[in-house]
Structure 1
Amino acid sequence: MELDKIHHVAIICSDYEKSKKFYTKTLGLKVISEIYREERRSYKLDLSVGSHYQIELFSFPDVPARPSYPEAAGLRHLAFTVKNLSSYVDYLETLGVEVEPIRIDPLTQKQFTFFSDPDGLPIELYEE
């Protein structure tokens, strides 16, 4: 038995509209579906990442803040690949997103950098 691939990554946000705008407008992820679950007072937004993966963006009332940046136990960060890192960083910066300086992975010699979503979740961009 073996796992085939990651199906989705679930993210809980504190401000649904702000996070929805960030993931759809800033990062350009496409909406697969969006539902409001009355019994949970919660939105669930499914977003496509390329043609194989998806992010589930959830809202819940009164969510606790993230414990620390980024070294708390649990998910450390979310990473996306891009074809041209410098161009994508320029694009994000024109939208007012603060992006860390580009670094080189010492093992692969590939470029990478980090920025954060509206709730401070670290997001990595890794050049293919």
Structure 2
Amino acid sequence: MNHLALVCRDFQETIDFYTITLGLKLIKNIDLPSGGKHFFIDIGNNNTLAFFWSTKAPESVPGISSVRPEAFLTGDIITAHGSMNHVAFHVPLEKLEEYKEKLVSKGVQTTPVLHHTDVPMSSFYFFDPNGILLEFAANLQSLDTLPAELKEKEAIFLK
């Protein structure tokens, strides 16, 4: 993936969350002709989260365009077709609890660490200030021990 483009409701609050709370780096900030902003947050491995901000953007509709805030603790994180459900960031397994504790100490509400039975992964979820559901996910198996179809491969487009 090169970047995922999202829409934020508050330009500065979003930058502060991703740079101060999560410790990521703002790498590009573009003023749009319409008066809005388009900015990029480095998430590592040559990937970015891109955000658009405009005073003309409509509000999100939790339960349709995004996960309902009260539902993330129950795991009922269903969203509409064509919507984005959540963004998962890979983190080292040995850092998962530490990252959760750091977020909680910064006032971010998280789920408990979940040990998924359907995939070899542990993770926890939390919201950014825009209501975008985020996940810190750690693989429980080395990529070397995963089945070949789950190992990282170069994407092949338009064969």
Regarding TM over 0.5, the answer is yes
Query: Is contact 2:15–2:26 with CA below 8 Å preserved after alignment?
Result: no
Matched, 1:79 2:73: no
- Mapped to 2, the partners of 1:72 and 1:120 lie a distance apart of 15
Query: Is contact 1:14–1:62 with CA below 8 Å preserved after alignment?
Result: no
Q: Which runs of 4+ in 1 moved over 3 A?
A: none
Matched, 1:122 2:133: yes
Count of residue correspondences: 122
- Mapped to 1, the partners of 2:19 and 2:123 lie a distance apart of 22
TM-score, normalisation: structure 2: 0.72
- Mapped to 2, the partners of 1:44 and 1:25 lie a distance apart of 19
Q: Gapped runs of 5+ residues in structure 2?
A: 68-76, 140-159
Matches within 5 A, 1:90-105: 90-105=101-116
Larger mean CA deviation between 20-29 and 69-78 belongs to 69-78
SS of aligned partner of 2:56: coil
Greater relative CO (CA pairs within 8 A, separation 6+) = 1
Offset of 1:108 from its aligned partner?
A: 3.1
TM-score, normalisation: structure 1: 0.88
Q: Gapped runs of 5+ residues in structure 1?
A: 1-5
Residue identity in the other structure for 2:86 = H
Aligned pair partner of 1:35 in 30, 53, 56? 30
Higher strand share: 1
RMSD: 1.3
Offset of 1:120 from its aligned partner?
A: 0.9
SS of aligned partner of 1:55: strand
Residue identity in the other structure for 1:79 = A
Who is 1:13 aligned against?
8
Offset of 1:9 from its aligned partner?
A: 0.6
